[in-house]
Amino acid sequence: MPFADQLRLAVAAYLARFKGSSRSHAESDLRCYLAWCGERDLDPLAACRPHLELYLRWMQEVGQFKPSTVSRRFSVTAGFYRTCVIDEVLEHSPAGAPPSCGVLPVADARVHTPAIRSLAHYGPPVRQPR
């Protein structure tokens, strides 16, 4: 099945589990993640845990979303991947524990803040003692 069709089907299967305003909100939150992936030429069905860590940092530092929004949006993303595993689209969820892709994503021009750049290159930023 072509990539676009597989992703469209996976998204539809996830959103079918909701109705009413819950569906609208889940669709909006998932659209945010899919747009983030698209801006980085990242296939959401090939994403690894480090990609999701970068998405979290992007929401916090670039998007400056409130913690409750970050939590809700990430919960929707994790639920999407859980559904992909249940529906056998993916073998495992990148939102869960390893395995990961084994390589941290490389930062590019779209990575703006120092904390995100350090995460992209080296892992979580190291806090300096006070």
Residue range 32-91, pLDDT digits in tens: 999 999 999 999 999 999 999 999 999 999 999 999 999 999 999 999 999 999 999 999
Residue 19 pLDDT > 80: yes
Residue listed under structure tokens 């998007």? 63
How many CB atoms lie under 10 A from the CB of residue 57?
Answer: 22
Examine residue 114 and say whether the peptide bond preceding it is cis (omega within 30 degrees of 0).
no
* Per-residue pLDDT tens digits for 76-130: 999 999 999 999 999 999 997 554 454 444 444 344 444 444 334 333 444 445 4
CA atoms within 13 Å, Cβ hemisphere of 51: 24
**CA–CA distance, 39 with 16 (Å, rounded to integer):** 26
| Phi, psi of 106, rounded to the nearest 5 degrees | -85, 135
